[in-house]
């Protein structure tokens, strides 16, 4: 799972950078477009530390799935804060992409936790 955290983190960083670049080319520029990158950096750090410190892997991956869940819920809340979006702007596309990446990460983590629990019990 640490490798999955690292890759999902990379995707979120890419989403944040692309959103920021879009705002830079089509003003107004908003620093909030970098929010997915912040979540991505957190996931990447947790993934890299989990690879380096095997004794902390379980705790770090639980922290990573919490970051993913918070990212998913925050992006959904941002999408529907003012009602259902009428069009797909760069901000809406960025929030949708962040929600999808975070949701997939959470699902993969939960499946991995269930499989690890089964393996440990058997």
Spans of all domains in the chain: 2-121
List, for residues 22-81, the tens digit of each pLDDT value. Answer: 888 887 777 888 899 999 999 999 999 999 999 999 999 999 999 999 999 999 998 888
CA distances from 111 to 22, 49, 115, 117 (A): 35, 21, 6, 10
Output phi, psi for 117, to 5 deg.
-65, -40
Going by C-alpha positions, the residue among 8, 39, 15, 3 that lies closest to residue 105 is 8
| Tens-place pLDDT, residues 77-96 | 988 887 776 767 777 788 88
Is this structure's pTM higher than 0.85? yes
């Amino acid at each position: 799972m640490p490798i999955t955290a690292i890759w999902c983190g990379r995707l979120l960083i890419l989403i944040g950078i692309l959103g920021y670049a879009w705002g830079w080319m089509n003003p107004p520029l908003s620093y909030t477009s970098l929010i997915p990158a912040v979540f991505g950096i957190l996931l990447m750090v947790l993934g890299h530390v989990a690879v380096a410190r095997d004794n902390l892997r379980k705790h770090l991956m639980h922290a990573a799935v919490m970051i993913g869940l918070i990212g998913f819920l925050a992006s959904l809340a941002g999408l529907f804060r003012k009602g259902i979006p009428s069009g797909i702007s760069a901000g809406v596309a960025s929030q949708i992409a962040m929600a999808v990446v975070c949701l997939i990460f959470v699902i993969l983590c939960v499946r991995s936790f269930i499989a690890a629990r089964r393996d440990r019990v058997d």
